[in-house]
């Protein structure tokens, strides 16, 4: 089962986490086969937000909401269940300084594919 | 006792035994339905299927036991029938799913019922740990535990917590959806997960107990049903897990429970420890609690629950407040502070110091503690401060603190106690 681990962190505390340590964990979790994708993000001060309203594009600086902790990176992991996901997430180094939000992935492609297959079967009949 | 009912081999009982069988089914339902549910959740891989299967299995029992007799092992029979009915329901409902998928699903539904018997106690433990999983909201853990482990109805739980039944039902539905969607597993915690997971279980049990013992709002000062359920779950855990903190929590609850009859006057007023009629205390519970405390402390792996139980045991075993060993109680609070360095524990220690060394010594500690601001909204801090001021003849300070406490108290019998003090001081 896939979970997205969103790494939140107060950017002013980034210095407490050496890059080497983060990359070491990244190598470890990728080596274990549990990691499907992972990236660290550039500072939230470089973020741009886009919205479309009434077919008009609206571009603004920065994220939607001001919060103390910012999204700093993510790991897409494959875990047996939530307990295994929690163990993997707890070992992500920024968990000691910030927090990791663990979200199950919604199998949207599989759901739509099943509906389409059902429809195709109906059409055959 | 009807020997025939224990021996199904002797064939169908006559029709006038049907009522008796129905009564036995009800007894077995009360005794076994949670165990059957716990096993079926494992075998069927989810709450919803398992609940339906438990229902179907007991309905089948009502139909078949009057004819076939009550089986030797009703639990195994119910698990087997429940599992069969669930698989049948999946087959019948499999319009959109291929036969191979159904076969795979049925295969994934665990072992044969013959083996199901072995893991039974583990299943009940799994269910407790699942309902108290820290990934669920605290309110939901309590509701789910009372619903699934204790078998209370949604209405009963809603009444006990004074929330509308639909709100409570919604809480349970959301929790079950999270268990399913986030795939919270149905397994026993690994040794390195156990401390965190057990802490959550013990917290849920103690919250349920306290809700029944000192309800935080409303008219009724005690709601003994909730306390009884909390004790029941703790007793179950004590038999399943050899953990000193589990014994400590059970002991703590039994020692509180032993004083229930003496806590409330005939008029519904709260009576504090030093004014209670000790002949009303339940000696059997005190002895059982005391034994559990000794056992937990001897293990040397005790924690905050066993220490609080030890304090409760010292308080309960003394013949009066004057003869209570306050030196030992202060010492136990010192150890407790090492596990739980919270302002509330500091406050309780200060109250014990006041009993050991006099009100002045206790007041110094309480005032230093209140100066930090950590307890400014904690009603018991203000009543403790007020009581000591009253004993020292500091009338104005006592009145102020009682008024502050009253503003923070919703529970009716506690309010009456504070109002009585205010009247005494004003007079």
- pLDDT tens string B215-245: 655 555 556 678 998 999 999 999 989 999 9
Instruction: Note whether B212 and B411 are within 8 A (CB).
Output: no
Cβ–Cβ gap A83/B96 under 8 Å: no
Which of B346-377 are b and which e, b meaning 16 or more Cβ less than 10 Å from the residue's Cβ? bbbbbbbbbbbeebeebbebbeebbeeeebee
Q: Would you call A104 an interface residue with chain B, using a CB distance cutoff of 8 Å?
A: yes
Yes or no: say if B129 and B123 are a contact pair by the CB < 8 Å rule: no
If contacts are CB pairs under 8 Å, which of residues 26-45 in chain A contact chain B?
A: none
Tokens representing B136 are 């669920």
CB B303 within 8 A of CB B245: yes
**Are B183 and A81 an interchain contact pair (Cβ–Cβ within 8 Å)?**
yes
- pLDDT at site B103: 66
Among candidates B182, B189, B193 on the partner chain, residue whose Cβ is nearest the Cβ of A104 = B182
Sheet of A99-104, strands arranged across: A35-40, A70-78, A2-9, A99-104
Whose tokens are 């110094």? That residue is: B364
The pLDDT value recorded for residue A70 is 92
Confidence of residue B90 (pLDDT cuts 50, 70, 90): confident
Gap between the Cα atoms of B156 and B138, Å rounded: 18
Contacts of B289 (CB under 8 A, 6+ apart): B250, B251, B252, B254, B255, B258, B309, B312, B313, B316
Residue B83 pLDDT > 90: yes
CA B78 vs CA B116, B126, B152, B183, B333: distances in Å: 11, 19, 20, 27, 49
Q: Which of A66-70, B120-124, B178-182, B406-410 has the highest mean pLDDT?
A: B178-182
Mean pLDDT of chain B: 87
**Cβ atoms within 10 Å of B196's Cβ, excluding its own:** 11
Q: A110 in contact with B at a CB cutoff of 8 Å?
A: no
**Interface probe with A: pick from B182, B187, B196, most Cβ of A within 10 Å:** B182
Grade residue B152 by pLDDT with cuts at 50, 70 and 90: confident
Q: Which long-range CB contacts under 8 A does A17-26 form with residues at least 24 apart?
A: A17/A93, A17/A94, A17/A96, A17/A97, A21/A93, A22/A93, A22/A94, A25/A91, A25/A92, A25/A93
Give the separation between CA B331 and CA B356, rounded to whole angstroms: 11
How many angstroms separate the CA atoms of B254 and B246, rounded?
12
Maximum separation of any 2 CA atoms in chain B, in Å: 84
Of the candidates B97, B123, B103, B105, the one whose C-alpha atom is nearest the C-alpha of residue B34 is B123
Mean pLDDT of B343-359: 95
Instruction: Select the residue from A83, A87, A99 to test the B interface by mutation, using most B Cβ atoms within 10 A.
Output: A83
**Phi, psi angle pair for B277, to nearest 5°:** -80, 105
Show the tokens assigned to B288: 């059982």
What is residue B10's predicted lDDT score, i.e. its pLDDT? 46
DSSP state of B273: G
Predicted pLDDT of residue B410: 82
Residue A82 φ then ψ, to 5°: -65, -35
| Pick from B96, B182, B189: CB nearest A82 | B182
- Would an 8 Å CB–CB cutoff place A116 in contact with chain B? no
Average pLDDT, chain A: 93
Q: Are B21 and B87 in contact (CB under 8 A)?
A: no
Span B42-68, average pLDDT: 93
Residue A68 confidence (pLDDT): 86
A82 vs B183: CB contact, 8 Å cut-off? yes
DSSP conformation letters of B190-248: PTTTHHHHHHHHHHHHHHHHHHHHS-SSSS-S--HHHHHHHHHHHHHHHHH---HHHHH
Answer whether B187 touches A (CB < 8 Å). yes
Give yes or no for residue B2 having a pLDDT over 50. Answer: no
Please judge whether A82 and B187 are an interchain contact, meaning their C-beta atoms are less than 8 angstroms apart. Answer: no
* pLDDT value of position A73: 96
pLDDT surpassing 60 at residue B323: yes
Give the gap in angstroms from C-alpha B189 to the nearest C-alpha of chain A: 9
**pLDDT greater than 90 at residue B162:** no
User: Chain A residue with minimal CA distance to B185?
Assistant: A81
- The backbone torsions φ and ψ at residue B132, rounded to the nearest 5 degrees and listed phi first, read -105, 20
With an 8 Å Cβ cutoff, are A81 and B96 in contact?
Answer: no
- Take residue A73 and report the two structure tokens written for it: 């990176």
Cβ contacts (< 8 Å) between A1 and chain B: which residues? 183
Domain boundaries defined on chain B: 3-112, 242-324
Q: Give the pLDDT band of residue B126 (cuts 50, 70, 90).
A: very high
| Cβ–Cβ contact B135 with A under 8 A | yes
CATH for A2-124 (3.30.60.50, 3.30.2320.80, 3.90.580.10, 3.30.70.1060)? 3.30.70.1060
Asked if B184 lies within 8 A of A82 by C-beta distance, the reply is yes
Kindly tell me if the per-residue pLDDT of B12 is higher than 70.
Answer: no
How many A×B Cβ pairs under 8 Å?
21
Q: Does the pLDDT value for residue B5 go beyond 50? A: no
What pLDDT was estimated at residue B113?
47
Chain A residues within an 8 Å CB radius of B181:
104
- Model confidence pLDDT, tens digit, residues B109-118: 655 444 444 5
Tokens of B47: 């709450």
| Least confident among B15-24, B174-183, B347-356 | B15-24
Q: Which residue of A has its CA nearest to B178?
A: A104
Helix (H, G, I), strand (E, B) or coil at B81: helix
pLDDT one-digit tens code per residue, A39-98: 999 999 899 999 999 999 999 888 866 778 999 999 999 999 999 999 999 999 999 999
| Residue-wise burial string across B96-106, b where 16 or more C-beta atoms lie within 10 A, e elsewhere | eeeeeeeeebe
- Find the closest chain B residue to A117 by CA distance: B96
What's the half-sphere exposure (Cβ side, CA atoms, 13 Å) at A35? 19
Show residues of chain A in contact with B135, CB under 8 Å.
82, 86
Min Cα distance A81 → chain B (Å) is 5
CA distance B178 to chain A (A): 10
d(CA B417, CA B405): 11
DSSP B252: H
Chain B residue with Cα closest to A115: B96
* Nearest chain A residue to B96, by CA: A118
**B185 confidence band (pLDDT: 50, 70, 90):** very high
Chain B residues with CB under 8 Å of A120 CB are: none
- B185 in contact with A at a CB cutoff of 8 Å? yes
pLDDT tier, B96 (very low <50, low <70, confident <90, very high otherwise): low
pLDDT at B316: 92
What value does the CA radius of gyration of chain B take, rounded to a whole number of Å? Answer: 26
Averaged pLDDT, B367-385: 93
Q: Considering CB atoms only, which of B96, B181, B185 is closest to A83?
A: B185
Residue from A45, A48, A70 nearest A57 by CA: A48
B94 at interface of A, judged by CB pairs closer than 8 A: no
* pLDDT bucket at B7, cuts 50 / 70 / 90: very low
Cα B247–Cα B216–Cα B427 angle in degrees, nearest 5? 120
């Amino acid at each position: 089962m896939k979970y997205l681990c969103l790494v939140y962190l107060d950017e002013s505390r980034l210095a407490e986490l050496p890059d080497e340590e983060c990359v070491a964990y990244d190598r470890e979790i990728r080596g274990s086969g549990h990691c499907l994708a992972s990236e660290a993000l550039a500072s939230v001060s470089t973020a741009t937000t886009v919205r479309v309203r009434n077919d008009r594009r609206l571009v603004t600086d920065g994220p939607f909401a001001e919060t103390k902790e910012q999204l700093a990176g993510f790991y897409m992991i494959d875990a047996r269940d939530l307990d295994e996901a929690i163990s993997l997430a707890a070992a992500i180094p920024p968990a000691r300084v910030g927090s990791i939000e663990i979200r199950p992935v919604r199998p949207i492609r599989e759901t739509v594919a099943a509906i389409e297959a059902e429809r195709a079967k109906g059409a055959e009949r | 006792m009807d020997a025939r009912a224990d021996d199904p081999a002797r064939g169908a009982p006559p029709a006038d035994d049907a009522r008796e069988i129905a009564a036995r089914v009800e007894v077995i339902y009360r005794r076994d339905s949670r165990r059957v549910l716990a096993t079926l959740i494992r075998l069927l891989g989810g709450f919803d299927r398992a609940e339906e299967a438990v229902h179907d299995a007991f309905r089948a029992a009502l139909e078949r036991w009057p004819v076939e007799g009550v089986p030797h092992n009703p639990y195994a029979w119910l698990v087997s029938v429940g599992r069969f009915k669930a698989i049948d329901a999946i087959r019948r409902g499999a319009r959109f799913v291929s036969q191979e998928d159904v076969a795979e699903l049925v295969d994934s539904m665990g072992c044969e019922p013959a083996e199901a018997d072995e893991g039974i106690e583990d299943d009940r433990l799994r269910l407790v740990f699942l309902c108290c999983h820290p990934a669920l909201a605290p309110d939901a853990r309590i509701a789910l535990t009372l619903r699934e482990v204790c078998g209370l109805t949604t209405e009963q739980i809603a009444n006990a917590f004074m929330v509308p039944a639909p709100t409570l039902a919604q809480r349970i539905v959301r929790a079950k959806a999270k268990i399913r969607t986030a795939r919270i597993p149905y397994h026993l915690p690994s040794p390195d997960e156990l401390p965190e997971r057990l802490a959550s279980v013990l917290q849920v049990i103690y919250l349920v107990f306290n809700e029944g013992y000192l309800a935080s709002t409303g008219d009724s000062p005690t709601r003994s049903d909730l306390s009884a359920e909390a004790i029941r779950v703790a007793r179950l855990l004590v038999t399943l897990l050899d953990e000193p903190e589990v014994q400590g929590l059970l002991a703590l609850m039994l020692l509180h429970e032993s004083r229930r009859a003496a806590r409330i006057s005939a008029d519904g007023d709260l009576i504090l420890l030093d004014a209670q009629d000790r002949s009303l205390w339940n000696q059997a519970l005190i002895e059982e609690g005391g034994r559990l405390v000794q056992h937990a402390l001897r293990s040397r792996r005790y924690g905050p629950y066993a220490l609080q139980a030890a304090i409760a045991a010292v308080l309960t075993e003394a013949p009066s407040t004057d003869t209570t060993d306050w030196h030992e109680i202060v010492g136990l609070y010192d150890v407790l502070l090492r596990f739980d360095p919270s302002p509330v524990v500091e406050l309780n220690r200060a109250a014990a110091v006041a009993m050991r060394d006099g009100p002045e010594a206790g007041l110094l500690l309480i005032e230093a503690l209140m100066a930090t601001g950590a307890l400014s909204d904690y009603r018991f801090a203000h009543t403790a401060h007020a009581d000591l001021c009253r004993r020292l003849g500091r009338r104005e300070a006592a009145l102020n603190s009682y008024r502050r406490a009253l503003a923070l108290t919703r529970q009716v019998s506690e309010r009456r106690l504070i109002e009585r003090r205010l009247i005494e001081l004003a007079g």
